[in-house]
Chain A
Amino acid sequence: MLRDKLASYKNLLDALAAAQPEQPFASMWLPNREPELQEVTFGEFLNLANSYAWLYRERGLKCQDTVVLVMNQSIAQMAAFAGALLTGIVPTILAYPTFKVDPQKYRSGLSGVTANLKAALVVLDPEFPEELAQYVASTQTVRFDPFETGHEVPKIEWSTPQAHDVAFIQHSAGTTGLQKGVALSHGAVLTQLVHLADAIKLQPSDRIASWLPLYHDMGLIACFILPLVAHLPVAMESPTDWVLWPVSFLKLVTTHRSTICWWPNFTYQFMARRVREEDREGLDLSSLRAVINCSEPVRAQSMDEFHRAYQAYGFSRAALHSSYAMAENTFAVTQSVIDSQTGPLTVYVDRETVGLPGALTTVAADDPRAQSFVSSGPCLEENQVRIVDDNGQDLPEKVVGEILIQSDSLFSGYYNRPDLTAGALRNGWYWTKDRGFKVGADLFVLGRKDDLIIIGGKNIYPIDIEEIAWADHRVRAGRAIAFGVDNADLGTQELFVVAEVLEESYLAEGPDIQLNIRRSIVNELGIAPRIVQVVPPKWIVKSTAGKPARSSSREKFFREFAEFEPKR
């Protein structure tokens, strides 16, 4: 039903105009404010958006100018985004600095991104650090809070965009300096939402809950733009508040009777392990009909752990779902079948065949060699996936190759980066650099092609090595990287592992840590690493999504340990 309503809109503003003013829209949990729960109806939200639209006009911005938003997660941030849409100005959201951020790195990243965007205005919130603001490359910077303007602003005339006009820019996850902007048209966004609504069987009774940042496609498209356009309520909190008190998200779900949320894979285990039993009292998760695992390779054990922890609180196994999504496709490419009572398809393959040429061999779930892979589901309508080899030849099912996608919501290029676009878009297909395989209509995603390590003809996924390194209690979980280095003499790659210790004092135990990691890798995978290097805390370069950035860390490694630089 909602699918047809979304399909009737010509642009995003048609959808905003059709909203009932008194209908509830956003509820934001703000624990340090009074009241703690800030709530706005669609009418109130559009009034706030109008304040920003007025600001943009006052500052002389024109249709299709770019405005960059660097603000704490808030309803004001969302209104600043919507205000730009109203006036035909192109908004984009960048990550907000935390107190842990390295100022030098943040300055460099922010300056580069805002310069590339040719931003006409950068909007900061009142708390944005002054020492960082001076590095914003823009003609104008403004701090603005629509709740504190204290005066009425005239109603701004809305623009009348065409379907092909750029609506906004979203950034793919990556280190700040290398983030790639994706310009999305009104038509592409609406098309994506129509297919997504269809795939998740979106109903007028649905209610979304989110702790995700709005600079990430999952937070922006699924948890802000979708409810905005489909006129659904969304309950939100900031990632910072969630990480400090994870049960708060489950309380939001309980209070708002939320039905759908999207999470990256690690969230399932975090929620299961970091919420005290006594704090679970009173939770009711029976309203959740889809908790969609997205943006990381989907792991069965993570989802199982969450289900075990919360089934006593009404959480249904049938609510476990998965999706494959990316900013370049606006959002989702695949979605597991919502009506299934068993969750996404899981296949078990002989781990000995993973990484070898040819088809994976399936085995029984209880086979000692079984390695599980969870499907990200079949394609959304008008989305296609191909699995190809390095020459672009299509591969049969169960054979791992690069995932190519084509859809009617695909991006047309990276913003102001034709150099990057040429390599990614070829003959109408987006080459994702993700590795995966298909079984029937289901897509299974394994990881990144460009991080893949090939030693002696065997493909090795870095995550498998890194998890072994994390198992050493002196190595910080999530802070080890593995990469392959070509050795011309051997005609193959060698394995390098860099492991970050929990604290400086562990550096003294470096030789023992190296030995332990080496021994574990050999024991588990039969591969002897060339180098295991132990490094101090905070050494590994992280992406804005908080994940280890392997390529940046690798470059840093060869800068600091030049003696290991491969011969050319």
Chain B
Amino acid sequence: MKPIISVRNLVVEYEERRVLDGINLDIEAGETMVLLGGSGSGKSTLLRHIIGLESPKSGSVLVKGTDITRCSPAELKAVRRSIGVAFQSAALFNSLSVKDNVALTLREHTALAPSIIDLVVWMKLAVVGLEDFGTLYPQELSGGMKKRGAVARALALDPEILVLDEPSAGLDPIVAAELDELILLLKQTFQMTVIVVTHELPSAFRIADRIAMLHQGVFRSIGTKDEVKASRDPYVRHFLDRVPENMASAPAVAAYFEKYLHTQEAQE
């Protein structure tokens, strides 16, 4: 089966610093792919290329057969209408109420009557459990509610692909678990392809069909949950077993302070 998203030899550089180093990834329609990795591993950068917000140095990203790194603005717009994105910061428009945030794409991209739009908005808010909070503004919501509002907005046009950037970052474990269940429910109900960027292991193993683990711009492991768990790659093992890599050693800290004191004394 042809993948719905196909990343080929993607190279991304920021001021000559290579962030993604020729990576390849296929995401099948209807699966939940979790992009796992530590901070600065390049997973959010990969996500921004998958949704066409940035252009790579080389390589291609095919979404539903369209290479979004080389297509026309009109083609990119058409592809984007089939993708719903919930950003890490939720990025709800602060000047609009939650229901207006959800209604925005419906008003802009469909010819639905206002009463139908209201109904669709209410349904989307009900899916994420915010049906009683539609009239509130983003600044009046808690962190978890904002993220759920962002998911509702991403679902507005019934996208084929749902992209979630760090959905559980900064949330307490109960709210994070609620969001995981919501993602599972959405996938089960709407049969959509879900891409989730996260570094939260419990969340990743709860929701993923497959996991791609990124480290220093390359994939260290791509496979099912069991395949990733069984990986022998040293970084994957460190990550899964929570082994610290760059730990400050007590003697090194003591030596630093000793050297600093000597320098101060010499200056006096």
Question: Do A and B originate from a single complex?
Answer: no
What is B's interface to A at a CB cutoff of 8 Å?
Answer: none
